[in-house]
C-alpha cells in the first residue's frame, strides 16, 4: 500500500508548541526578513531624534563649521525619514503576509482533514461549529501570525532600543521615566488575565451561535409552516445577548487599560519636562537633549498603547489554535490514510461483497439495530432489501458502504475485510444513492456531472432518459441548464431522487446501492426507472432497498428484514411461497396500487 501524501497536520497529532512552530516554519524566510526590517525601522526611529538633538544644540552656533554641521544633520534626518517610510512598507508586507498564508494553508488542511474524518467525528462536531472554526477561529490565527507578530516585534524593539538611547542621554531621567511605565504594566497584567477567560468564552459563544443559525436555516420551512418564528427569534436573541455581554466585558477592560497606559505615558512626559527642566537649569542637560528625550517618550507611547491590542490578538489567537487543533488532532482510522493503486482497485472487480454475521448498535447502551445478518452480493447481481420503516435498512446500507464503523470480520470484499480498505478507495467500488439526496446550488447538468471529467452532452441526456427525468427537464424553460436552487429547492422530491439516480448512472461503480430512492415516484415511473437502471447496470451489481415489493420483483435475490433480523431470503417467487411476511406485504401493496388506479 502507498502512503497518502497528506500534510503532517492531517496525519500527526501536534501539541500546541509544535503547532505554533509548524506555522512559524511555514513562513520562516518572511519572518526573518520582517524581523530585520522592523529592527531597522526601530533603529531609524531612535536615531532620528539623536540627530534632531545635535541639530538643535547647534542652532546658537553661527560659525561656518556649525552651519555646515547643521545642514548635514538636517539632511541625515530627511534621508533617514524617507528611508524609514520605505523600510516600514516592506516590513509590513513581510510581517503581514505570513498571517494570510498561514490562514489559507490551515484552511486547506482543515478541509482535507474533514474529508478523511469518519462519520463518528461529525456526530460530535455540528456543522455550524465547524463553519465558525473555519471563519472566526482561522481569522484569529491569521491575526496572531500576521498583525500580532508584527506588533510584538515592534513593541520588543521599541521598548528595548528606546530606553537604551534615553539611557545614553541621562540614566537618572531614564530611571524616573520607568516609574509610571512600570505602574502601567502592573495594571495591564491584571487586565490581561481577566481578558483571557473572556476571549475563550467569546469564541465558544460564536460557535454556539453558528450552530444555532445552521439548525434554524436548515429547518426554515418547518419553522415557517409551524409558526415557530417567535420561539426561534427568542432563542437566537438569547445566544446573541450572551455574545454581546461577553464582548462588552472585553471592551470595558480594553477601554480601561488604554487610558491607563496613555496616562502612564503622559506622566512620563511631565516627569521629563519637570526633572529635565531642573537638570537643564543646572546645565546637566542641553535643550537638544531634552527635546530628544521628549521624542523618545513619544516613541514609547505607541508600543505601550499597542500592548492592549497585542494582548487581545494573542489571547484570541491561542484560543483559536485550541479550536483548530481539536479538529486537526482528531483521529483518522489508520487504514483511511492508505491509498491503493488503480490496479489494486481494479482487482476488486468480479468480487463478491459478503456480509457475515453482521451485528450493529449505534451506542453501547442501546439495543442491536442489526442482529446477525449474513448474505452475499455477487458481482453483477441485483439484490433487493425489503423491510418496514425502522427495520434497519438504512443502517445496513451505511454499514455496507462503511459510512458507519463496523466490527472487523463482518463485511468482506472478496477475501478482503472492508475495515482494512480506506473509505476513499472503497467508495471507488461502491456508490450510494441516498433517500434524501443532496443537490448543489447549481444547474441540473452540473449536478449530474459534478466530480466527473470530460462528460459529453449526450451522456447527460442518456442518464436523464434512463432515470425518467428527461421529460420533466424538457418542460423547464432552460432545460438541463435550470438552476435547482439551494439543496435543490426548485425540484420536487421525486425529481430530486431521479436526479441523484442520473448522477449515479453517469459513471456507475461496480456496486450501486439505492436506498429507498423510488419512494417519491408512482408505481409506473418506478418500473420504468428500474428498467432503465438495470439496462445500464448490466455488468454491475446493485442493491435496491425499498419498503415496496413492486420495486424488488425483478431482483435476483431479495432479503427481508424485520426488527434488524434477516427473516427470509430468495427470489420474488420463492418468497411469495415461503415468507408469510413477504406475501402479506405484497398483497397489501397490490390492493393499495389497485385502489389508486380505480
Residues that bind ligand ADP (CB under 6 A): 362, 369, 387, 389-395
Using CA atoms, how far apart are residues 265 and 286, in angstroms rounded to an integer?
22
Minimum distance, C-beta of residue 564 to ligand ADP, in the bound complex (Å): 7
Nearest-approach distance from CB 391 to ligand ADP, in angstroms:
4
The answer to whether 576 and 430 have CB atoms below 8 angstroms apart is: no
What is the nearest approach in angstroms of ligand ADP to the Cβ of residue 517? 12
Residue 117 — φ and ψ, nearest 5°? -65, 140
Q: Closest approach of Cβ 394 to ligand ADP, in Å?
A: 3
Q: How far apart, in whole angstroms, are the C-alpha atoms of residue 151 and residue 262?
A: 17
406/394 Cα distance (integer angstroms): 14
Nearer to ligand ADP by C-beta: 404 or 499?
404
- The nearest distance, CB 559 to ligand ADP, in angstroms, is 12
The smaller minimum CB distance to ligand ADP, of residues 276 and 564, is found at 564
Distance (Å, whole) CA 517 – CA 467: 11
Return the DSSP state at 117.
Answer: S
Beta-sheet strand order (sheet of 416-417): 370-377, 353-360, 411-413, 416-417
| Distance in angstroms (rounded) separating the CA atoms of residues 315 and 137 | 12
Q: Bridge-partner residues for 129, per DSSP? A: none
Q: How many CB atoms lie within 10 A of CB 580?
A: 10
Nearest residue (CB) to ligand ADP, 35 versus 430? 430
Cβ count near 72 (within 10 Å): 14
Strand partners, 543: 383, 513
Nearer to ligand ADP, 87 or 377 (CB): 377
Distance of CA 319 to the CA centre of its chain: 16
Nearer to ligand ADP by Cβ, of 389 and 598: the residue is 389
- Shortest spacing between CB 387 and ligand ADP, in angstroms: 5
- Cβ neighbours of 415 (radius 10 Å): 7
User: Between 200 and 517, whose beta carbon lies closer to ligand ADP?
Assistant: 517
DSSP-based three-state secondary structure for 245: helix
Q: How many CA atoms does the CB half-sphere of 55 hold within 13 Å? A: 17
> Closer CB to ligand ADP, residue 369 or residue 464?
369
* H or E, element range at 49: helix 28-56
Residue 452 Cβ, how far from ligand ADP at the closest point, in Å? Answer: 28
Q: Which of 577, 547, 544 is nearest to 562 (CA)?
A: 547
Which residues share a beta bridge with 596? none
User: Which residues lie below 8 Å from residue 3, measured CB to CB, with a gap of 6+?
Assistant: 337, 338, 339
CB of 392 to ligand ADP, least distance (A): 5
Q: For residues 532 and 505, give the distance between their C-alpha atoms in angstroms, rounded to a whole number.
A: 10
* CA of residue 105 relative to chain centroid, distance: 11
Residue 118 or 378: the one with the smaller Cβ distance to ligand ADP is 118
By C-beta, is 315 or 391 nearer to ligand ADP?
Answer: 391
Of 87 and 383, nearer to ligand ADP (C-beta) is 383
Asked whether 353 and 412 are in contact (CB, 8 A), the reply is yes
Q: Is 391 exposed, middle or buried (0-12, 13-18, 19+ CB in 10 A)?
A: buried
CB of 395 to ligand ADP, least distance (A): 3
Min dist CB 466 to ligand ADP, Å, is 25
Q: How far is the CB of 181 from ligand ADP (least distance, A)?
A: 59
Compute the least distance from the CB of residue 370 to ligand ADP, in Å: 8
Judged by CB, which is closer to ligand ADP: 136, or 410?
410
By C-beta, is 161 or 377 nearer to ligand ADP?
Answer: 377
Distance (Å, whole) CA 470 – CA 23: 51
SS (H, E, C) 343-385: HHHHCCCCCCEEEEEEEECCCCCCCCCEEEEEEEECCCCEEEE
**Spatial separation of the C-alpha atoms in residues 482 and 498, rounded to whole Å:** 15
Amino acid at each position: 500500500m502507498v502512503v497518502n501524501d497528506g500534510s503532517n497536520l492531517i496525519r500527526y497529532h501536534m501539541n500546541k508548541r509544535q503547532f505554533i512552530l509548524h506555522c512559524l516554519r511555514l513562513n520562516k524566510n518572511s519572518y526573518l526578513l520582517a524581523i530585520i526590517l522592523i529592527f531597522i525601522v526601530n533603529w531609524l526611529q531612535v536615531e532620528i531624534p539623536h540627530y534632531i538633538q545635535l541639530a538643535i544644540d547647534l542652532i546658537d552656533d553661527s560659525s561656518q563649521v556649525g552651519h555646515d554641521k547643521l545642514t548635514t544633520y538636517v539632511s541625515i534626518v530627511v534621508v533617514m525619514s524617507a528611508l524609514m517610510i520605505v523600510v516600514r512598507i516592506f516590513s509590513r508586507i513581510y510581517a503581514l503576509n505570513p498571517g494570510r498564508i498561514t490562514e489559507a494553508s490551515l484552511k486547506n488542511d482543515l478541509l482535507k482533514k474533514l474529508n478523511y474524518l469518519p462519520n463518528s467525528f461529525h456526530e460530535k462536531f455540528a456543522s455550524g461549529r465547524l463553519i465558525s472554526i473555519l471563519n472566526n477561529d482561522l481569522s484569529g490565527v491569521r491575526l496572531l501570525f500576521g498583525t500580532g507578530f508584527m506588533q510584538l516585534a515592534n513593541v520588543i524593539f521599541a521598548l528595548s532600543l528606546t530606553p537604551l538611547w534615553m539611557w545614553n542621554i541621562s540614566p537618572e531621567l531614564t530611571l524616573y521615566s520607568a516609574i509610571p511605565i512600570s505602574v502601567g504594566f502592573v495594571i495591564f497584567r491584571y487586565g490581561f488575565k481577566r481578558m483571557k477567560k473572556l476571549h475563550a468564552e467569546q469564541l465558544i459563544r460564536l460557535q454556539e451561535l453558528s450552530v444555532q443559525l445552521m439548525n434554524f436555516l436548515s429547518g426554515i420551512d418547518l419553522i415557517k409552516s409551524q409558526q415557530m418564528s417567535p420561539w426561534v427569534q427568542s432563542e437566537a436573541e438569547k445566544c446573541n445577548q450572551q455574545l454581546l455581554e461577553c464582548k462588552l466585558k472585553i471592551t470595558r477592560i480594553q477601554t480601561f487599560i488604554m487610558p491607563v497606559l496613555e496616562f502612564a505615558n503622559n506622566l512620563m512626559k511631565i516627569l521629563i519636562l519637570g526633572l529635565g527642566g531642573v537638570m537643564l537649569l543646572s546645565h546637566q542637560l542641553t535643550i537638544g537633549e531634552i527635546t530628544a528625550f521628549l521624542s523618545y517618550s513619544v516613541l514609547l507611547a505607541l508600543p505601550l498603547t499597542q500592548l492592549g491590542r497585542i494582548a487581545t490578538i494573542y489571547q484570541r489567537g491561542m484560543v483559536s489554535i485550541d479550536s483548530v487543533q481539536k479538529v486537526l488532532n482528531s483521529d483518522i482510522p489508520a487504514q483511511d490514510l492508505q491509498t491503493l493503486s488503480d490496479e489494486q482497485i481494479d482487482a476488486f472487480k468480479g468480487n463478491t461483497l459478503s456480509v457475515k454475521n453482521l451485528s450493529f448498535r449505534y451506542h453501547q447502551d442501546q439495543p442491536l439495530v442489526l442482529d446477525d445478518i449474513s448474505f452475499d452480493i455477487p458481482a453483477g447481481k441485483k439484490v433487493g432489501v425489503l423491510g418496514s420503516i425502522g427495520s434497519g435498512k438504512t443502517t445496513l446500507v451505511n454499514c455496507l458502504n462503511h459510512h458507519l464503523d463496523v466490527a472487523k470480520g463482518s463485511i468482506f470484499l472478496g477475501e478482503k475485510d472492508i475495515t482494512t480498505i480506506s473509505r476513499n478507495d472503497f467508495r471507488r467500488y461502491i456508490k450510494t444513492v441516498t433517500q434524501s439526496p443532496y443537490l448543489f446550488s447549481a444547474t441540473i447538468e452540473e449536478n449530474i456531472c459534478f466530480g466527473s471529467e470530460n462528460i459529453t452532452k449526450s451522456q447527460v441526456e442518456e442518464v436523464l432518459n434512463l432515470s425518467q427525468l428527461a421529460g420533466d427537464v424538457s418542460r423547464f424553460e432552460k432545460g438541463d441548464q435550470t438552476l435547482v436552487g439551494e439543496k435543490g429547492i426548485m425540484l420536487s422530491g421525486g425529481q430530486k431522487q431521479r436526479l441523484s439516480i442520473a448522477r449515479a448512472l453517469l459513471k456507475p461503480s461496480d456496486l450501486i446501492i439505492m436506498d429507498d430512492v423510488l419512494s417519491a415516484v408512482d408505481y409506473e415511473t418506478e418500473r420504468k426507472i428500474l428498467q432503465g437502471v438495470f439496462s445500464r447496470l448490466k455488468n454491475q451489481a446493485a442493491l435496491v432497498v425499498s419498503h415496496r415489493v413492486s420495486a424488488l420483483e425483478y431482483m435476483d435475490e431479495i432479503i427481508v428484514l424485520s426488527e434488524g433480523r434477516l427473516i427470509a431470503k430468495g427470489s420474488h417467487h420463492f418468497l411469495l411461497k415461503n415468507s408469510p411476511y413477504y406475501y402479506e406485504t405484497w398483497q397489501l401493496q397490490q390492493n393499495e396500487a389497485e385502489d389508486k388506479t380505480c
